[in-house]
């Protein structure tokens, strides 16, 4: 992971930063409290420099990042999680239902904060070095492959979160309160210098900075009435775990775009794979009601049906034949997925939407991860965006501590927003445009997108750039304040409404 530590701007192991001066004294729970602390909770006010609400993957990463960074490791951090903490061991017999794709930057973060070795020791990491994407409505497709290193890892959400919480035990500055939920939040103001957080058991915490990492249905965002822009995709993602036929283990991530939405197969360890099938609500509900055998039939049909172009996209097919140097043509049923033995888990679903909080920060408050932005899962970038938030916020808080700023300083937090908001909007707009592009059944749009995939599959420099972004190895640069002022207008114009208009204009012009 030295490559990550050299290239990343994350200052988790930077020994140049020091904080001088004496530490404040606090009442209440001591800094040495851990997950195993069974002392009764004292009802007097307790002060923490930082309170993180949400002990999931992003929130626990944030706590560990602060605990492991030289110039922030003195900060007392309370991590509040509503669910009971699940130990890393014993491992479940089969993979967790919820799996996520992690790029190299995210894995580098895990390594820097002491969690990656715990994750690897489980022998449940699944690296992938190929990505095959194709369109069910035509001959277009694209194949990414990295022969030098993995493109990323597919990991179980529960396993990663448990490893992060286990890693947090090495940092004396972190106190985990679980299960615990937030009853109310009173933000600091001109008359109140600190934020007060009241838990459901009436325990009160004061803090200089509250970090909301409590997901897309953030209770903090709701309590504080923070405004968001967004829309529903009127879709659900149906998820389950499958067992491949004996002897099969894949390192390829497959994704096929159907008229109703994409279906993806993510490789897991020990011959398992995860299915994420995005489709309209009625179809999703139908899939959830099927028995396993009937669902298997529907799933195989989704991977293999409607493969032939039937001459409708003859120009696209001709260009593909002329341009393609890939012996495995990415079209139709010439792509084969590994044989599936059985569905090995229950099925679940979650609604798909796009949502973006208009302001990530204010004095003493910061939003990270899905609490700030929710994207469609088709590109597998949601959790990586959240972990990029963790990296950026840790860097800025580290710099602020090194130069004497209070951890909740509004100017420093605004720098975090400037760093992350445009990057998140660009990714959200790209994913949203892909959703509308591949969701159109119009023949002209189908022809254009298949032609685009065909051309892209043969443009090596552009493919390399896309792969570096996907892997998290491209450099992300901050933006100036003048440019940042344009973001809200850009967001309203392109993220929410523009892709639909693009589809309409494109179809009208072609006809």
Q: End-to-end distance of the chain based on CA atoms, in angstroms?
A: 52
Residue span of the structural domain in which 139 resides? 126-152+232-349+433-510
Does residue 224 share a domain with residue 244? Answer: no
Domain boundary among 385, 404, 427: 427
| CATH number where 111 lies | 3.50.50.60
Are 246 and 370 contained in the same domain? no
Residue that is last in its domain, among 427, 445, 475: 427
In a shared domain, residues 466 and 487: yes
Q: Are residues 295 and 196 in the same domain?
A: no
Reading the block at residue 465, the tokens are 């750039």
Of 427, 442, 474, which one is at a domain's C-terminal end?
A: 427
Name the helix (H) or strand (E) containing 163: helix 157-167
Q: What is the rounded CA–CA span in Å between residue 153 and residue 107?
A: 8
The greatest distance separating any two alpha carbons of the chain, rounded to the nearest whole angstrom, comes to 76
CATH of the domain at 454: 3.30.9.10
Same domain, 142 and 161: no
Number of structural domains the chain divides into: 2
Number of residues that this document lists for the chain? 511
**Residue 42, burial from CB neighbour count under 10 angstroms (0-12, 13-18, 19+):** exposed
Q: Concatenate the DSSP letters of all residues of 284-339 into one string.
A: HHHHHHS-HHHHHHHHHHHHHTT---TTTTHHHHHHHHHH---SS--SGGGS-PPP
Ordered alpha helix ranges (H), 187-280: 219-223
Q: Give the C-alpha distances (Å, rounded to integers) separating 435 from 19, 48, 261, 440.
A: 47, 42, 8, 9
Same domain? 411 vs 437: no
Cβ proximity of 316 and 457 under 8 Å: no
Based on its alpha-carbon atoms, the radius of gyration of the chain, rounded to whole angstroms, reads 24
Say yes or no: 455 and 318 in one domain: yes
249 with 378, same domain: the answer is no
Q: Where are the alpha helices (DSSP H) in 440-476?
A: 443-456, 460-471
Q: pLDDT (tens digit, 0 to 9) for every residue of the chain, 511 residues total?
A: 433 333 333 444 333 222 222 233 333 333 333 333 333 444 567 999 999 999 999 999 999 999 999 999 999 999 999 999 999 999 999 999 999 999 999 999 999 999 999 999 999 999 998 888 887 766 566 777 777 778 899 999 999 999 999 999 999 999 999 999 999 999 987 777 899 999 999 999 999 999 999 999 999 999 999 999 888 989 999 999 999 999 898 899 998 888 888 899 999 999 999 999 999 999 999 999 999 999 999 999 999 876 443 334 444 444 444 444 343 333 344 568 999 999 999 999 999 999 999 999 999 999 999 999 998 887 678 899 999 999 999 999 999 999 999 999 999 999 999 999 988 888 887 777 766 555 545 444 444 444 444 444 444 444 454 555 555 555 434 334 444 344 344 444 444 444 434 334 433 433 3
- Asked if residue 445 and residue 373 are part of one domain, the reply reads no
| Contact between residue 344 and residue 401 where contact means Cβ atoms under 8 Å apart | no
Q: How far apart are CA 414 and CA 171, in angstroms?
A: 27
Residues 302 and 365 grouped into a single domain: no
Q: Which residue has the tokens 């530490």?
A: 23
Q: d(Cα 312, Cα 144) in Å, to the nearest integer?
A: 26
Are 269 and 334 within one domain?
yes
pTM: 0.78
Closest CA to 509 of 460, 450, 442, 459: 442
H or E element at residue 177: strand 174-177
Pairing of strands 77-80, 141-145: unpaired
Is the same domain home to 342 and 298? Answer: yes
Q: Cα separation of 259 and 296, whole Å?
A: 19
């Amino acid at each position: 992971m030295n490559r990550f530590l050299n290239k990343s701007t994350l200052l988790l192991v930077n020994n140049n930063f020091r904080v001088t001066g004496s530490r404040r004294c606090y009442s209440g729970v001591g800094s040495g409290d851990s997950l195993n602390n069974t002392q009764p909770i004292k009802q007097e006010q307790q002060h923490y420099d930082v309170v993180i609400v949400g002990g999931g993957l992003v929130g626990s990463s944030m706590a560990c990042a602060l605990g492991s960074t030289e110039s922030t490791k003195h900060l007392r951090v309370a991590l509040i999680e509503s669910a009971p903490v699940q130990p890393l061991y014993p491992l479940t017999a089969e993979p967790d239902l919820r799996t996520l794709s992690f790029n190299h930057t995210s894995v580098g973060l895990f390594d820097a904060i002491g969690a990656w070795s715990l994750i690897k020791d489980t022998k449940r990491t699944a690296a992938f070095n190929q990505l095959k994407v194709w369109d069910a409505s035509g001959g277009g497709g694209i194949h990414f492959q990295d022969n030098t290193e993995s493109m990323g890892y597919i990991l179980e959400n529960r396993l990663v979160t448990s490893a992060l919480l286990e890693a947090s035990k090495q940092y004396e500055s972190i106190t985990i309160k679980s299960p615990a939920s937030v009853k109310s939040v009173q933000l600091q103001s001109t008359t109140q210098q600190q934020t007060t957080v009241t838990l459901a058991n009436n325990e009160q915490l004061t803090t200089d900075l509250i970090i909301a990492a409590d997901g897309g249905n953030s209770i903090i965002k709701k309590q504080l009435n923070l405004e968001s822009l967004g829309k529903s995709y009127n879709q659900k993602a149906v998820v389950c775990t499958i067992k491949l036929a004996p002897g099969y283990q894949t390192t390829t991530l497959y994704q096929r775009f159907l008229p109703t939405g994409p279906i993806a197969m993510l490789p897991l360890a020990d011959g398992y794979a995860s299915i994420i099938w995005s489709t309209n609500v009625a179809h999703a509900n139908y899939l959830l009601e099927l028995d396993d055998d009937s669902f298997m039939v529907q799933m195989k049909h989704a991977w293999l049906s409607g493969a032939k172009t039937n001459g409708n996209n003859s120009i696209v097919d001709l260009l593909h034949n002329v341009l393609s140097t890939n012996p495995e043509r990415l079209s139709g049923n010439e792509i084969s997925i590994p044989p599936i033995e059985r569905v090995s888990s229950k099925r679940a679903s979650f609604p798909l939407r796009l949502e973006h909080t208009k302001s990530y920060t204010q004095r003493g408050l910061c939003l990270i991860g899905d609490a700030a932005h929710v994207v469609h899962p088709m590109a597998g970038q949601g959790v990586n965006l959240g972990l990029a938030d963790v990296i950026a916020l840790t860097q800025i808080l580290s710099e602020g501590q090194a130069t004497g700023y209070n951890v909740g300083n509004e100017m420093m937090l605004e720098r975090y927003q400037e760093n992350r908001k445009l990057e998140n909007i660009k990714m959200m707009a790209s994913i949203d445009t892909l959703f509308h592009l591949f969701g159109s059944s119009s023949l002209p749009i189908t022809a254009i997108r298949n032609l685009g995939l065909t051309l892209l599959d043969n443009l090596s420099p552009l493919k390399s750039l896309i792969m570096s972004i996907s892997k998290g190895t491209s450099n992300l640069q901050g933006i100036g304040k003048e440019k940042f002022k344009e973001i809200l207008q850009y967001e309203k114009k392109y993220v929410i409404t523009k892709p639909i208009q693009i589809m309409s204009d494109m179809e009208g012009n072609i006809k």
